[in-house]
Amino acid sequence: MSKLFKNITFLLAIVLVSFSNDINAQDVKNTFTLKGEIKGLVGNLYFRHPDKEYTRTTPSDSIIVVDGKFNFSSTISELSQIRVYPGFNGPDDKLFKKPKGGRGMFPVKCAYLTFYASPGANVTVTGEATDFMDAYPSGDKFNNSLAAVNKLMYPMYNQMGNLAVKNTYETDSVKIKANDKQAETIFKKSIEALKKHIKSNPNSIASAWYLNDLMLRTQVTNEEAEELFNSLSTDLAEYPDYKNVAERIKGIKATVDGSPVPSIKTTATLSGKEFNISSLQGKYVLIDFWGIWCGPCVAEMPQVKEFQEKYKDNLVVVGINSGDTKEKIKAFTAKNEYEWLQLLSDKANTPDNFVNRFNVQGFPTKFILDRRGKIVKRFVGGGEEAFEMLEELLK
């Protein structure tokens, strides 16, 4: 073997070892641990990792639980809230709020263990699995703040969930109304308690997350949302939960009727070609926020197609999908011959997160733009009013 070849081989080995060490060091740096004990928990826990892509057939990641105890490690790229849940129809079924007959469930936050994972975090969980997940994380300021608000909110969520289940077994209309009234009272109390907690804990990342949740569920007015957001500390500004709320607040102001549509210049199209919404000025535009997972969205699409074909010279339809893969959207639109432009809303806090930028709070949501690119009106839910307005504008 020549001396030159030996030197090259030696240098290559050094590079490979260094590269391997860098990867291992990065893995160690990004590792988080979740350990603890939840009394009364029997089966394993499951979750969807924020750094992974999942489909409906992709199995969730699992956390092995033995006698209520667990010790789990993984890596994470950035601070992320993770929701952990027991197996449905498993030994911990008591945590789910199932109606009479056992099919489906009432979605309640208190069925889940929620914690913040971040690079280097060591999270400890303590608590009990009763008829809800009365267990909370600790170990750093993020998890301590989340535990504080969840300890406040989970018992109320549990009460509301139990009343909903109770009504599925009840046949007396008077008792059903009484249960509904009690649940409504608890609901109003929970919203007020949450708003008070957010104002009292401006440095809590959990306050930012819950504010975003309140906005998404339209449980606060736009004015209340702005007031609560302004009460948050700007020290949170580097974190995704705060950024999500900030983008939604901008979206409130940017999408009022009569305002120019927020700029969209993106390659988040099915073809990968750049699209600029300003190129559509001169025609009316229907922006349709949708998802294949959204039954009402899919049900209205034949009517969207009808309008697109009927008024093709004066109307442009722009679909903005949230929650589906590019491949799935391509297959779905091709099968149904939906030939209008489709954009993909990013889940991350980027300029392509159109759901946050337009403050979309429910699906389907539609916007009608006039010929100058200004918002005529926003429509949330059933699109009949949107179609009626389009008919008036285009006839």
For 197-241, write each residue's pLDDT tens digit: 999 999 999 999 999 999 989 999 999 999 999 999 999 999 999
Extract the tokens encoding 352. Answer: 């392509």
Extract the tokens encoding 208. Answer: 């930012």
Mean pLDDT on 256-278 = 95
- Tell me the pLDDT tens digit for each residue of 64-121: 999 999 999 999 999 999 999 999 888 999 999 999 988 899 999 999 999 999 999 9
For 234, residues 6+ apart whose C-beta sits below 8 A from its C-beta are none
Which percentage of the chain shows pLDDT scores above 90? 84
Look at residues 114, 109, 111 and name the one whose alpha carbon lies nearest to residue 136. 114
Extract the tokens encoding 97. Answer: 């709020």
Q: Which amino acid is at 4?
A: L
Count of CB atoms within 10 A of residue 201's CB?
18
Mean pLDDT on 357-378 = 95
Q: What's the pTM?
A: 0.84
- Tell me the pLDDT tens digit for each residue of 19-64: 444 435 556 689 999 999 999 999 999 999 999 888 778 899 999 9
Extract the tokens encoding 266. Answer: 């993106």
Q: Which domains does the chain have, with CATH numbers?
A: 28-168 (2.60.40), 170-254 (no CATH), 265-394 (3.40.30.10)
- Tell me the pLDDT tens digit for each residue of 306-333: 999 999 899 999 999 998 999 999 999 9
pLDDT of residue 347: 84
Q: Which residues pair with 74 in a beta bridge?
A: 32
Cβ pair 366, 288 in contact under 8 A = yes
